[in-house]
Structure 1
Amino acid sequence: MSGRPDARQQAAAEALEVRKRMRETEEAILSRAPEHDLVPSLDRIAAVMELMGDPQKAFPVVHLTGTNGKTSTTRMVERILRESGLSTGRFTSPHLHDIRERISLNGKPIPAEKFLAAYADAIPFIELVDARSLAEGGPRMTYFEVLVAVAYAAFADAPVDVAVVEVGMGGAWDATNVADGTVSVVTPVGIDHERFLGSSVEQIATEKSGIIKADAIAVSSEQLPEVLQILRDRAEEVGADLAVEGERFGVLTRELAVGGQQVSVRGLAGDYPDLFLPLHGMHQAHNLATAIAAVEAFLGGGEQRLDPQVLGAALADVTSPGRLEIVRRSPTVMVDAAHNPAGAIALRDALQDSFTFARLVGVIGIFEDKDATGILEALEPVLDHVVVSRTTSPRAMAADRLGALAVEVFGEDRVTVVAELPDALDTAAGLADEGGVAGGVIATGSVFTAAEVRMLLGATET
């Protein structure tokens, strides 16, 4: 008995030390250039991978790119593969609350000890490549590049049977692209990150098509004709098989259901009727069709039908935090990470499709480098009022400036500017209550907005 308190104290001390090391490590990573400020190149991450013995080659990869829908589709693919009996790694970005969310093992954020171990494995080589780059007048590795190195080291060490990897930005020069995807997935392509990817969908599609590798199977969601042609050209160039939604797979039927939707899907290898998907919006049904095709491509080359019971069990457990997610009732408060016009249009359509509010109020916070007017115009038809604010992110547009843009779209009577997000949320809830029990709030405009509202309301599970 006398030894038990000492054991508990030792365990508590060790846990405290891990938390301290995790804070110090995260601060060191955050001291690097952020993921939106980079010098496009695979040279640095490729050099680190080579020095580490190319851990990204220790497991097969399902690689996903696109403008919208990447994270939800990634989570669906991983969940189906895990339910199929495989040990999985999942890499997504950005995170909502904890940096470890980006690197998941078997559906759970990587434990702090494993994160620290992978970082310890990678950092000597990262620092060596930093020194070489600085000596040549180049930059240190970025925040995102370091996290990719940590993720691939962790997946190799686990080890995982498959890694499901979402790009950070673009495709060809995205740091994740040092891995060669057995299956490459392209979700809908639109305009975003123009500074790095180009100002036309053709330029952006060309960059994103770079994840399609030789002899891979490529799976594409429905695309604009000009985007689809670029994907076809890339697949032909490298000898990949391209399966396109609407041609070889797609959504057959869809009905609203309590807590989500009932969807029937045609996959590459068969039909899957009456699947319950606990996510809202037609765009999520299309994400599901793409995810099913990707899993079929990985498990059986697109020729082996998935077990319907396994598929059903996986989908019943699918989540996509921060994507049209209800985080509170009375009034209903939802968050969505839409941060470009295409994402805002998908959100608008989902709100019209899946919800009936007597009064819907938006809490809007948008980054300075985003198309704020395009986002506001997309949401205007479904919002009775907007409360404009800003998050704690240094990239956030000032509330007054965003408010002036909102007035141009909504008119002065439908816009309230509240500088602090907690106060903005309270104001929006009060305005929604004017609609009675059928009032609602949607907080959107950036991943940061969704994350901070989630945290304010105590929703931290991911």
Structure 2
Amino acid sequence: MGREIRYAARSAGGNDNGDGGRGPTTLVDVTTPRTVRRDLPCPRPGAHPHHNLATAVAAVDAMAERGRIRAPEDESPRARLAATRWPGRLELTPRARDPAGPPVLLFAAMSDKDVSGMLAPLPADWPLVLTGTDSRQAADPTTLHDLLSPGRRGPCVTAEDSPSALRRAAELAGPGGLIVVLGLLRLIGETGTALAPRPE
């Protein structure tokens, strides 16, 4: 990256971001040793997906150049990239309105992770709910609490599992409040399932 592969991204205005609302779509131009592809849509928020997109395009070009795969049609990558979805990855559900207080963090991790380091970029006064998941790899909430930085100032509670943690986080957030789910992907999946509309 930066030598054989280069990319430039620019905003293309609002579009359906696949997360229940409208958000910015980014167009990315990617240059590889084989070709230049322009106006590739990147529907995921944040800057890191641009890098990932360029890497993926370069990998496809390298495989096509070596005869491992058939070179994609010009419009094929655009349609496939535009359809990219990763539920839970910087996904904003349309439930929060105008929160009166700070977001509540709902967090799970494995016990061998740098828990303090993972939470360090976030304000230390935001309320925190620590929980486990139905995965055996998830750390016990009490263990997570012991791994927290002593500099944390916000309220911190533990919950045995993700459904009870979600209820506790909702209580702390209050009506219309914002809950940020992070850490283990399993926790994100479990809370997504809990928030999904029930079939009639």
Task: Give the TM-score category using the shorter length.
Answer: 0.7 to 0.9
Matched, 1:296 2:61: yes
Whether the aligned pair in 2 keeps the contact of 1:363 and 1:386 (CA below 8 Å) is: yes
Matched, 1:374 2:139: no
> What are the within-5 Å matches in structure 2 for residues 132-171 of structure 1?
none
Q: Who is 1:395 aligned against?
A: 137
Whether the aligned pair in 1 keeps the contact of 2:28 and 2:42 (CA below 8 Å) is: no
Q: Who is 2:20 aligned against?
A: none
Whether the aligned pair in 2 keeps the contact of 1:331 and 1:433 (CA below 8 Å) is: no
Task: Classify 1:286/1:401 alpha carbon distance in 2 versus 1 (closer, same or farther; 3 Å).
Answer: same
Query: 2:7 is aligned with what amino acid?
Result: V
The number of equivalent residue pairs is 184
Give the Cα separation in 1 of the matches to 2:172 and 2:86. 27
Query: 2:142 is aligned with what amino acid?
Result: D
Match of 2:90 among 320, 324, 338: 324
Q: Who is 1:441 aligned against?
A: 179
Deviation at residue 410 of structure 1 after TM alignment: 2.2
Give the Cα separation in 2 of the matches to 1:308 and 1:370. 42
Q: Who is 2:11 aligned against?
A: 255
Query: 2:169 is aligned with what amino acid?
Result: A
Query: 1:420 is aligned with what amino acid?
Result: D
RMSD over aligned CA atoms reads 3.0
Match of 1:314 among 41, 59, 80: 80
Structure (1 or 2) with the greater strand fraction: 2
Deviation at residue 276 of structure 1 after TM alignment: 2.1
Give the Cα separation in 1 of the matches to 2:101 and 2:50. 26
Match of 1:363 among 89, 106, 122: 106
Q: Who is 2:156 aligned against?
A: 415
Match of 1:386 among 128, 135, 140: 128
Q: Who is 1:406 aligned against?
A: 148
> What are the within-5 Å matches in structure 2 for residues 195-274 of structure 1?
245-255=1-11, 257-258=13-14, 259=17, 260-268=24-32, 269-274=34-39
Q: Unpaired runs of 5+ in structure 1? A: 1-244, 333-356
Q: Unpaired runs of 5+ in structure 2? A: 18-23
Deviation at residue 309 of structure 1 after TM alignment: 1.8
Whether the aligned pair in 2 keeps the contact of 1:360 and 1:385 (CA below 8 Å) is: yes
Larger Rg: 1
Whether the aligned pair in 2 keeps the contact of 1:377 and 1:409 (CA below 8 Å) is: no
Q: Deviations over 1:157-215 (max 9, x none)?
A: xxxxxxxxxxxxxxxxxxxxxxxxxxxxxxxxxxxxxxxxxxxxxxxxxxxxxxxxxxx
Give the Cα separation in 2 of the matches to 1:407 and 1:371. 10
Give the Cα separation in 1 of the matches to 2:148 and 2:45. 26
Report 1 or 2 for greater relative contact order, CA contacts < 8 Å, sequence distance ≥ 6: 2
Deviation at residue 323 of structure 1 after TM alignment: 2.4
Question: Percent identity, aligned pairs only?
Answer: 28
Q: Who is 2:48 aligned against?
A: 283
Structure (1 or 2) with the greater helix fraction: 1
Query: 1:280 is aligned with what amino acid?
Result: P
Whether the aligned pair in 2 keeps the contact of 1:250 and 1:286 (CA below 8 Å) is: no
